[in-house]
Amino acid sequence: AFGAGKEVPIRAELMQYERRFVELSDEIRWKLQETRKYYATYNSSMDSNKVLEKEIALLSSIQSRFDQAIATPQGREKLLESLSAIAASVKASEQKAEQKVKGELETLSMLKNRHAMAVAAQRQYFALLKQLQEECARGERLHQTLQGKAMQAAASC
């Protein structure tokens, strides 16, 4: 419904639409950030769950075979080899996790730098906008002063 039966919205309506779109955009951005946090938390929990399940399976396997393994010298040797292989696998998993953390920290650092640059650009934008507004107001005052002098000159003639 446009103003006064017109087919084109009036300026006030356009400004209202713009404000509402900005509000909706901000709300959507906030919801997206919140959703991303939930996904990250869920994925982290699932990763932890997988690690714990593997650990439980490994410990259960060791426990079920332990008594049989220590009964004979070959069994003990095989158990030691198996435990050495498990330790190597755990070490490899640890290194992989450390690499992942290192990559995430590098990404975080890069994003922090990007954010700092964006904040600096935004501050500069607002400073320039304020300066522009001040100059526009100054120009308007000068224009009004000039018009007033022109009217005085026209009235005195």
Q: CB under 8 Å to 65, separation ≥6 — which residues?
A: 79
Number of structural domains in the chain: 1
List of residues 6+ apart from 3 with CB closer than 8 A: 9, 10, 12, 13
pLDDT given at position 4: 54
Asked, for residue 76, whether it belongs to a domain, the answer is: no
Give the pLDDT confidence of 73-83 residue by residue, as tens digits.
998 999 899 89
Give 32's pLDDT tier (boundaries 50, 70, 90).
very high
In a domain, 71, yes or no: no
The answer on pLDDT for 52 being more than 60 is: yes
Structural domain includes residue 80? no
Residue 42 lies in domain: 1-65
Question: Would you say residue 59 lies in a domain?
Answer: yes
What pLDDT is attached to residue 132? 97
Residues counted in the chain: 157
In-domain check, residue 54: yes
The band of 50, judged by pLDDT with boundaries at 50, 70 and 90, is very high
